[in-house]
């Protein structure tokens, strides 16, 4: 059964995600509201790693809001690539952290699907950090997260959330292409001036 809390959490978070894909700074304050709502929803379904993740999103949304506005020596932070060295560091750290946190959830809580839930948490953190830095590859990590989250949330009886996460998957593809175009235009714009 779809609850009013699930509808509200998904509605405001959808707005936030669409704004992020369009490179709008308003993604951050809408994300704060969505995170509060999702924290309550995930707590009620025993997805504790996702509850922790929502509190991480609260903090990083405030930081991301400031960083997008002032993170480039007081000016707006440009859209750019992460580069292979950063990706080569992020991926193995993500795998190890997923296994470690999943083991903690498995042994010390009644968490449902602790390793899958942990993967959603860890790779969402990586994606969010890349998003805060306006790194194009954040969208590739969101694709991974959404691919894992859809079946996880469906298995917990959440009906609206997995459908929207499938739509977020499509948004991540569109946003990845859009951000690549933005980065290319930022590189060519100074040369043309």
- Which tens digit of pLDDT belongs to each residue from 139-185? 999 999 999 999 998 998 888 889 988 999 999 999 999 999 999 99
Mean pLDDT within 107-120: 91
Q: What is the DSSP letter of 26?
A: T
Helix then strand count (H, E) for the chain reads 7, 0
pLDDT value of residue 112: 87
Digit-coded pLDDT (tens) for 12-64? 999 999 999 999 999 999 999 999 999 999 999 888 878 988 998 999 999 99
pLDDT value of residue 81: 94
pLDDT value of residue 75: 75
In this prediction the pTM is: 0.86
Distances (CA, A) of 147 to 35, 38, 141, 164, 167: 20, 18, 10, 12, 11
pLDDT value of residue 190: 52
Summary mean pLDDT of the chain: 91
Mean pLDDT within 121-129: 94
């Amino acid at each position: 059964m779809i609850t009013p809390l699930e509808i509200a959490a998904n509605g405001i978070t959808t707005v936030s995600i669409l704004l992020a894909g369009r490179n709008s700074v308003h993604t951050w304050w809408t994300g704060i509201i969505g995170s509060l709502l999702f924290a309550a929803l995930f707590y009620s379904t025993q997805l504790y790693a996702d509850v922790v993740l929502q509190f991480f999103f609260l903090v990083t949304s405030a930081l991301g809001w400031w960083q997008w506005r002032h993170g480039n020596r007081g000016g707006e932070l440009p859209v750019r690539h992460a580069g292979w060295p950063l990706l080569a560091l992020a991926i193995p750290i993500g795998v190890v952290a997923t296994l470690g946190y999943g083991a903690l959830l498995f042994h010390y809580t009644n968490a449902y699907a602790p390793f899958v839930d942990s993967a959603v948490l860890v790779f969402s953190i990586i994606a969010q950090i890349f998003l805060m830095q306006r790194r194009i590859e954040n969208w590739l990590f969101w694709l991974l997260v959404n691919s894992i989250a859809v079946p996880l949330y469906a298995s917990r009886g959440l009906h609206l959330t997995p459908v929207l996460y499938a739509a977020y998957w499509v948004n991540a593809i569109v946003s990845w292409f859009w951000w690549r175009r933005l980065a290319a235009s930022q590189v060519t714009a100074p040369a043309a001036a």
